[in-house]
Chains A and B, each alone.
Chain A
């Protein structure tokens, strides 16, 4: 029997960033790599992000943030994911996140942080390899 599995990705923008050019570039690149990308727009709350991940049954979440509020928002998002039983959903982040914060962020369970200058190829490869490992 034929099965057509697709990688489902949520690209989410927590906080009050005023533009989403970067997130959209990543979303389009992942779409061009054959994935189904759910993009939910600007100004998402942690609650909205986690609810969306739940309802859309995504394999992986990419958090895009430019405002510097990652130290407040990321822990809240990871806490809610745990509360909803979504611990098997992988999370990566990108945007403007200082090097010195990366270790702390990884301790929360966010697996990778892609700073400015990361190529879309790197991100695509990362998602494909890690989602494959899950199944």
Chain B
């Protein structure tokens, strides 16, 4: 059994087995995961992190495969994290995103990992950003995260990726409805895939119309590109646009999103540690069980109960 230190060393050297084991450790959580991330963190921040999201059926996986091929053609190494939902009933997951990317499995410059959300909300898994860090530290030039089929509220990807590509396709339902608030706001690049279908132009126009309603001053105007993922048409232009966005981000004096990402991570880390130690301790007290009965009997509400427990600990 390799130690955490050995696995971290293996990650930094680009050893695939270490990378795989490291991702598993972060998926399982706990102090081992924290130690591992602490060891590799100084070596992250070099890869370009790309998020591919959009409704199910738009062709994300097929497009991802073509994007990876294009990057490989340009001499870049790629890590892919493909996320699928965990069943809320069984706790299990069918991870089938790899099916469309399997030919890339034996490419030494590509590492693909399937992840289940494990009931984390927002379209990705809790450990997705850890997997991204590991792939970054293992010297991949680009790390690509494919989210679950996203509707309107699966926008956690904005806290993980630097460039977000929202993929849509004609005929997936009422065009405007399908690209509501959340996804519209986080997109850096819009893609209308299956552009050979009828109404591809209308879909692009619908997106444009909604974009025009947004009069915020932005340094970057999200372009709308057309692709046919099955044939690879339009993918070259897409990757060039992604690289343009990367350059744009590096030119910014203050990268707002980088601050957002760092804040999210720090707050989440604090919450996790607080929850683990404090909650664990409080649950052991007799008063905790008493309060549970009172909550059920409507004699006290959960927030007041929490206040009481925390006050007793000296936390305001």
Q: Which residues of A contact B (CB under 8 A)?
A: 1-6, 8, 27-28, 30-41, 44-45, 47-48, 51-52, 54-57, 84-85
Q: Which one of A1, A32, A40 contacts B30 once the chains associate, using CB atoms below 8 Å?
A: A1
Residue pair A44, B92 in contact (C-beta under 8 Å): no
Q: Whose C-beta in chain B lies nearest to the C-beta of A35?
A: B92
**Residue among B19, B28, B91, B114 making CB contact with A38, cutoff 8 Å:** B114
A35 and B87 alpha carbons, distance in the complex (Å) = 10
When chains A and B are docked, how far (Å) is the Cα of A1 from the Cα of B111?
Answer: 30
A1 & B99 in contact (Cβ 8 Å cutoff) = no
Q: Quick check: is B191 within 8 A (CB to CB) of the other chain?
A: no
Q: Is the CB of B113 within 8 A of A55?
A: yes
Partner of B118 from the list A6, A39, A45 (CB cut-off 8 Å) is A6
**Across the interface, which residues of A come within 8 angstroms of B24, CB to CB?**
8, 57
Interface assignment of B276: CB less than 8 Å from any CB of chain A: yes
Q: Cβ of B94: which chain A residues have Cβ within 8 Å of it?
A: 27-28, 31, 37, 39
CB neighbors of A among B18-43 (8 A): 19-21, 23-24, 27-31
Contact A38 B30 (CB under 8 A): no
Mask of B65-92 contacts with A, CB within 8 angstroms, 1/0: 0000000000000000000001100111
A132 to B186 Cα, complex, angstroms: 43
Q: Are B102 and A37 in contact (CB under 8 A)?
A: no
Let me know if A41 and B20 touch, CB within 8 A.
Answer: no
Cα separation A132 to B98 with both chains bound (whole Å): 26
Bound Cα distance A33, B89 (Å): 10
Complex interface: chain A residues within 8 A of B28 (CB): 3-5
Q: What is the CB-to-nearest-CB distance from B19 to chain A, in angstroms, rounded to a whole number? A: 8
CA gap between A48 and B16 in the complex, in Å: 14
Q: How far is the CB of A56 from chain B (nearest CB, A)?
A: 6
Whole-angstrom distance between the alpha carbons of A41 and B175 in the complex? Answer: 32
CB <8 Å contact, B91 and A40: no
Cα-based distance from A47 to B107 in the complex (angstroms)? 11
On whether A57 and B23 interact (CB within 8 A), knowing A31-B92, A39-B94, the answer reads yes
Provided the pairs A2-B29, A2-B276, A56-B113 are in contact, do residues A51 and B92 lie with their beta carbons within 8 angstroms?
no
**Which chain A positions have C-beta within 8 A of B276?**
1-2
Proximity string of chain B (36-65) to chain A, C-beta cutoff 8 Å, 1 when within and 0 when not: 000000000000000000000000000000
* Residue in contact with A4 in the complex, picked from B16, B19, B95, B118, CB distance below 8 Å: B118
Q: Given the complex, which residues of A lie within 8 Å of B171, measured CB to CB?
A: none
Cβ-defined contact, A34 with B92, below 8 A: yes
Residues in B with CB closer than 8 Å to A38 are 95-96, 98, 114
Asked if B17 lies at the interface with its beta carbon under 8 angstroms from chain A, I say yes
Residues from chain B with a CB closer than 8 A to the CB of A47 are: 105-106
CA separation between A38 and B86, bound complex, in Å?
Answer: 12
Does B183 sit within 8 A of A, measured CB to CB? no
Interface of A, helix, strand, loop or mixed by DSSP: mixed
Contact of B92 among A5, A32, A56 (CB under 8 A): A32
Q: B106-132 interface mask toward A, CB cutoff 8 Å, 1 = contact, 0 = none?
A: 100001111010100000000000000
A41 and B102 in contact (CB under 8 A), knowing A1-B30, A55-B113? yes
- 29 intermolecular pairs with C-beta atoms under 8 Å apart: A1-B30, A1-B276, A2-B29, A4-B118, A5-B28, A6-B27, A6-B116, A6-B118, A8-B24, A27-B94, A28-B94, A30-B92, A31-B87, A31-B93, A33-B90, A35-B92, A39-B94, A40-B98, A40-B99, A40-B102, A41-B102, A44-B102, A48-B102, A54-B20, A55-B16, A55-B113, A57-B21, A57-B23, A57-B24
* Most chain B beta-carbon contacts within 10 A, residue among A27, A41, A52, A56: A56
Cross-chain contact of A85 among B17, B111, B114 (Cβ < 8 A): B17
* B95 close to A37 (CB less than 8 A): yes
Q: List the A residue with the shortest CB-CB distance to B127.
A: A4
List the A side residues contacting B90 at CB < 8 Å: 31-34
In the complex, which residue of chain B has the Cβ closest to the Cβ of A85?
B17
Closest 4 CB pairs of A and B: A41-B99, A31-B92, A57-B20, A1-B30
From known contacts A3-B29, A38-B114, A57-B21, infer whether A48 and B105 are also in contact, taking CB-CB under 8 Å: yes
Chain A's nearest CB lies how many Å from the CB of B118? 6
Indicate the member of A33, A37, A47 with the most B CB atoms within 10 Å: A37
